[in-house]
Amino acid sequence: MKFTVERDVLADGVAWVSRALPLRPPVPVLAGVLIEATATGVKLSSFDYEVSARGELDATVEQEGTALVSGRLLKEISQALPHKPVHFSHEGSKVHVTCGASRFTLATMPADQYPELPVLPDPSGVVDGAEFDQAVAQVSVAASKDETLPVLTGVRMEIEGDKISLLATDRYRLALREVSWNPRATDISAITLLRAKTLSDTAKALGSAEVTLSLSTESDVNLVGFSSGGRVSTSLLMDGDYPEVRRLFPEESTSTAIVDTTELVEATRRVALVAERNSSVRLAFSEGQVTLDAGHSEDAQASEALEATLQGEDITVAFNPQYLLDGLNALRAPFVRFGFTHDTKPVEFVGLAEADAPVDSGFRYLLVPIRIAS
C-alpha cells in the first residue's frame, strides 16, 4: 500500500472516522482505523458495533492495499503534521508516514480480524445539513444524561411525509423541533430512536451540505444511516418505548410574556451567581417588567428587572438556572415568548423574530418550574 494525500484532507477524514472509535474497545482491533487504498482513492473506516463511520479521501494511490492502525495515534499524528503532502507506505507489519521532515512508524493490527461494516440502507430522502444540525442541537439539550433511564438519553425522530420531528426529554424539560425534508416517497412514515450524543456528533460533523438520510425498511435491520460529501455514518437504533410526550405541550396559555432573549440570558447568568447548588432563579412577571432574583441565605442575594410585555395575570415562577439558560440559548431567536397555564405547570418557550411577530412553532421548549416555598 502506497499513497499520497494532502495533510488537511487526511486530518479531516481521520477526525470524521475517529468519532466511532470506542473508549474501551471490547476487542483490540476496534481501536483501529481501517485504511483501504484502491484505484479510486483511499477509504477510512471505524466501527464500535453500534456506530460506524466511513470517509473517502482524494489521494494519489501508487499501490493498492489495506492496513489497520491505531485510530488514536493516527488522529493525533494527522493533526500535528506540517501542512505538506503526506506519504503512506505499508511494509510488513508497519505503516510508515512521511510528511516533510516528519517521519512516523505505526504498528499494524490484523486487518482480517476487523468486523464487516454495516451495509448502508437505501436512501430515503435528503435534508439541508445546516438546518438539520441546528435542529439536532436545539433538541439534544433536553435529552437525559442519566444512563439508568437509557431510553431518555435518546432523541426520538418521527418522520411523516415531508416533515421530520425531533423530540427529547429528561422528565424536567421537553424539546420539539420540526424540519422539512425531501423524501423519496411522499407517503413515508417512520419512528426511530437514536442516542442524542451520536446524533449530535454526526449532524455537527456532516456540516452544512445536503445530508442523505437512509432508513432501513427491513424489520430485522435496526439501522439508520447518514451520508454527505463522501462521508457515511450508520447507527443502531435504541430499544425501548419512548413516552408519549407531545401531549404535554399545552393547547393554550392563560398568560403570556415576551422578553428580549439576550437581555434575559445575561440577567439570568448574573443573578444565578448567588444561586446555591440545586436552588432556583425566580422570575416575577408583572405588567411591563420581569424581576429576576436568587439567593436565600444572608450571605448573598441578587435581583434584576427587565422590560417585558405581559398578557394575563401576574405570575411568578422559579426555574433551574441552567435549564432556563439551555432553553433560551436553544431558541436562537431575538425574543422569547413564555406561555403559562399555572405557576406549578410546565412553561412553554417559543422564539420570536420580533416582539410583536407571530409565533413560529418550529422549535418548542417546555420546562417544569421548581415549586416556590411559601
- Go through the domains of the chain in sequence order and give each one's CATH number: 2-113 (3.10.150.10), 125-246 (3.10.150.10), 250-367 (3.10.150.10)
Read off the pLDDT band of 278 (50, 70, 90): confident
What is the β-pairing status of strands 363-367 and 315-319?
Answer: unpaired
Note the pLDDT of residue 312.
Answer: 94
Note the pLDDT of residue 342.
Answer: 87
Partnered with residue 285 across adjacent β-strands are 290, 315
Q: Give the integer Cα–Cα distance in Å for 228 and 166.
A: 20
Note the pLDDT of residue 218.
Answer: 65
Note the pLDDT of residue 374.
Answer: 53
195 pLDDT above the threshold of 80: yes
Average pLDDT, the chain: 93
Note the pLDDT of residue 5.
Answer: 97
Note the pLDDT of residue 217.
Answer: 64
Q: Model's pTM, two decimal places?
A: 0.90
pLDDT, tens only, 222-247: 899 999 999 999 999 999 899 999 99
3-state DSSP assignment of residue 58 = coil
pLDDT, tens only, 29-42: 999 999 999 999 99
Q: In the structure grid, which three cell numbers stand for residue 243, read together?
A: 413516552
Which region among 72-81, 131-140, 248-257 has the lowest average model confidence (pLDDT)? 248-257
187 Rama sector, left if φ>0, alpha if ψ -120 to 50, beta otherwise = alpha
Note the pLDDT of residue 287.
Answer: 92
Read off the pLDDT band of 372 (50, 70, 90): confident
Note the pLDDT of residue 207.
Answer: 87
| Helix orientation angle between 321-331 and 129-140, rounded to the nearest 10 degrees | 170
User: What single-letter DSSP state applies at residue 39?
Assistant: T
314 pLDDT above the threshold of 80: yes
Note the pLDDT of residue 142.
Answer: 97
Read off the pLDDT band of 361 (50, 70, 90): low
Q: In the structure grid, which three cell numbers stand for residue 349, read together?
A: 418557550
Compute the average pLDDT of residues 176-189. 94
Read off the pLDDT band of 299 (50, 70, 90): confident
Compute the average pLDDT of residues 292-315. 90
Compute the average pLDDT of residues 159-177. 96
Note the pLDDT of residue 96.
Answer: 97
User: What single-letter DSSP state applies at residue 196?
Assistant: H
Q: Evaluate whether 144 touches 153 at the Cβ level (below 8 Å).
A: yes
Long-range contacts of 130-136 (CB under 8 A, 24+ apart): 130/207, 130/208, 131/179, 132/179, 132/203, 132/206, 132/211, 133/203, 133/204, 133/206, 133/207, 133/208, 134/332, 135/164, 135/166, 135/177, 135/178, 135/179, 135/363, 136/166, 136/199, 136/200, 136/203, 136/204
Q: Evaluate whether 57 touches 5 at the Cβ level (below 8 Å).
A: yes
Compute the average pLDDT of residues 71-86. 97
Note the pLDDT of residue 216.
Answer: 82
Compute the average pLDDT of residues 192-203. 95
Q: Give the integer Cα–Cα distance in Å for 212 and 229.
A: 10
Q: Evaluate whether 246 touches 176 at the Cβ level (below 8 Å).
A: yes
